[in-house]
Amino acid sequence: MIINVPSLKRRLVAVGLLAAVSWMNFCCSDRGSYGNSLPSKLDTLYEVYKIDSINNHYLIYAVFDSIKYKIVSKKVEAKSGEEIKKGGHYHFKLLSLLLDYPITPGPRECIRVDKSTIICTEDSMPNIYSALNIEGLYAKEKE
């Protein structure tokens, strides 16, 4: 059997390009997002409906367009920004924590944010977030 090397290389390159394009399409589409997809509007206002705490972290529960979000913020003394209050509306820049922290074994997806704190997803909130513009219980000024 004789193998035409240039033809084989072209086929491998074509298959590789097809796989890369398919992967990018999957990752960048709503089907490829993990848990709740984040709103794409720049001026999205999340409404805070509950604030709780566990150990050294605040749990900020917010809703946008009927989708609920659990946002974790470390308890720190903020120096500036708008205090986050129940019933308030805020521009949050959310990031999924399920992608950054190891998931603990169990019936729900849970993350360990420090030695003594484990935070889990809920049926109505299949993801856990942090926000780039939250410090403690304060939303930082718009940049």
Model confidence over 27-36: pLDDT tens digits? 544 433 434 4
One-letter amino acid at 106 equals: G
Mean pLDDT confidence for 118-136: 92
**Count of the separate structural domains present in the chain:** 2
110 within a domain of the structure (yes/no): yes
DSSP states of 71-125: EEEE----SSSEEP-TT-EE---EEESTTTSPEESSSS-EEEEETTEEEE-BTTB
16 within a domain of the structure (yes/no): yes
Task: Identify the domain containing residue 52 by its residue range.
Answer: 46-139
Using a pLDDT cut of 90, give the percent of the chain over it.
47
75 within a domain of the structure (yes/no): yes
Residue among 78, 61, 94 nearest 136 (CA): 78
The bridge status of strand 103-104 relative to strand 94-96 is unpaired
Q: Give per-residue pLDDT as tens, 75-126.
A: 998 778 999 999 999 999 999 998 877 677 667 888 989 999 999 999 889 8
